[in-house]
């Protein structure tokens, strides 16, 4: 039955794949036999990630927030069977301090670029009879948190994007699902909490297990949703958070 999780012969593109949750997903997909294309802005991180993951991994340096470049980028990458949208950026400011430019930048990275990538790569999926798209939301989409107004808005909008894509693309054999990671040991998490001990303590108090997750915890969930094991799973919002949303 484990053949259902096998990604041998599948080509997966993972934005933000050079570090953090994206790399955790890439590591899991690589173990399942996928051919990988990692995308990000830091060539050093991408090169190091590919060196660790092996010869079936390649990378492309691309800033996905540059929307006008995405059609050409997608054409140059070619067809993929799996698209994982994991690129992101963090902004920690109180709402009254967030400028219009701040707000637009975060929405552009987490929503506009995700839509543009889905649109372009789904064209090839439709031609080939199907594919899997994974969106990454956040616990901020289901619980209010201070100092992340732009990020919360963006990650909530991801759910609306999923609903619309499921309505439009499912008939073409394309499945779209969303993972909402809890608090995972990543550079982005530590950027938010390392200098804020009370915030760290409050977050841990919200997690029933009192532990942060590992990037591979998201990777295993992603493997299920993007492999044949999840072939009848479509339009799901899956928290991977050790029960934090339930305990909120």
Q: What are phi and psi of 242, to 5 degrees?
A: 60, 25
- Indicate the helix (H) or strand (E) that contains 13: strand 11-15
Residue for token pair 């054999």? 173
Please name every residue paired with 178 in a beta bridge, in sequence order, or none if there are none: 135, 237
Contact between 200 and 193 (Cβ < 8 Å): yes
What residues are labeled active site? 151
> 2 to each of 6, 10, 22, 231, 233, how far by Cα in Å?
7, 16, 23, 14, 17
């Amino acid at each position: 039955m484990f053949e259902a999780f096998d990604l041998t012969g599948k080509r997966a593109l993972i934005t933000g794949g050079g570090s953090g949750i994206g790399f955790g997903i890439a590591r899991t997909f690589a173990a399942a036999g996928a051919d990988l294309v990692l995308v990000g802005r830091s060539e050093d991180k991408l090169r190091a990630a590919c060196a660790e993951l092996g010869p079936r991994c390649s990378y492309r340096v691309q800033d996905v927030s540059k929307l006008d470049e995405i059609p050409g980028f997608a054409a140059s990458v070619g067809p993929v069977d799996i698209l994982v949208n994991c690129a992101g950026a963090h902004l920690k400011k109180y709402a009254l301090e967030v400028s219009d430019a701040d707000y637009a930048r975060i929405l552009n990275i987490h929503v506009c670029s995700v839509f543009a990538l889905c649109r372009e790569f789904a064209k090839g999926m439709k031609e080939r009879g199907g594919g899997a798209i994974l969106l990454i939301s956040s616990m901020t989409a289901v619980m209010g948190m201070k100092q992340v107004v732009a990020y919360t808005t963006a990650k909530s909008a991801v759910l609306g994007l999923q609903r619309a894509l499921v309505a439009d693309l499912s008939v073409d054999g394309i499945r779209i699902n969303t993972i909402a990671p809890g608090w995972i040991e990543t550079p982005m998490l530590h950027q938010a909490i390392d200098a804020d001990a009370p915030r760290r303590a409050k977050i841990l108090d919200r997690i029933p297990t009192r532990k942060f997750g590992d990037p591979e915890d998201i990777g295993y969930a992603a493997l299920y949703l993007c492999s044949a094991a999840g072939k009848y799973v479509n339009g799901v919002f899956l928290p991977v958070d050790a029960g934090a949303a339930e305990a909120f």
